[in-house]
Amino acid sequence: MPRLLLATGNLHKQEELKSLLRGLPYEMVTPSELSIDDRVEENGCTLEENATLKATTFAARSGILSLADDSGLEVDALDGAPGVFSSRYAGENASDADRVNFLLSKLKGVPAEKRGAKFRCVIAIASPQGKIELCIGECKGVIALAPGGKEGFGYDPVFYLPQLGKTMAELPPAQKNEISHRARATAEARHLLINIANAQY
């Protein structure tokens, strides 16, 4: 069975990706399991550039097919910010709670009807030979006035889904994995990975 490197050191992402990719004909491995340095300087200007940078770097380090994602929150009232800087929006060493509070402070006084936002996810799949495929997923919502829910991570507690009447952090993981931006990008990635696996036999 071919191996697929989940090119992230983020344990939350590893868990989510393993769940979303379950059933594929791959042995999924992580950088720590291969004793590979999981640090990559994400200096791209777009989610696409960062995902590609991570996937190609890990494919070169490991010599196996690698999958990386970069995700961002784009808020209408902030002209698309924080976007590619989502994880560093409140500073390099900020916690999830710090980032949420910083975002809410930026939106202080902005009415509900102007708090539209979307999560975007770009997944890059890179081979050691340098071939790259990109898959993109989006999920639209609204930034809540205050955090709610204990599930998920990142900005999930303030990403409100009007059609469900809940924040992303109030959804059970199984439900989140049906509708999230990462779930939508991964659904496309599953088809690509199956085709790649079939081509190897």
Catalytic residues: 70
Alpha-helical segments (H) within 73-144 = 96-106
Are residues 58 and 46 in contact, defined by beta-carbon separation less than 8 angstroms? no
Task: Quickly tell me which residue has 């900020």 as its tokens.
Answer: 94
Place of tokens 């690509």: 192
Write out the H or E segment, with its range, that includes residue 67.
strand 66-75
Residues 84-119 as b/e (b if ≥16 CB within 10 A, e otherwise) read bebbebbeeeeebeebbeebbebbeebeeeebebbb
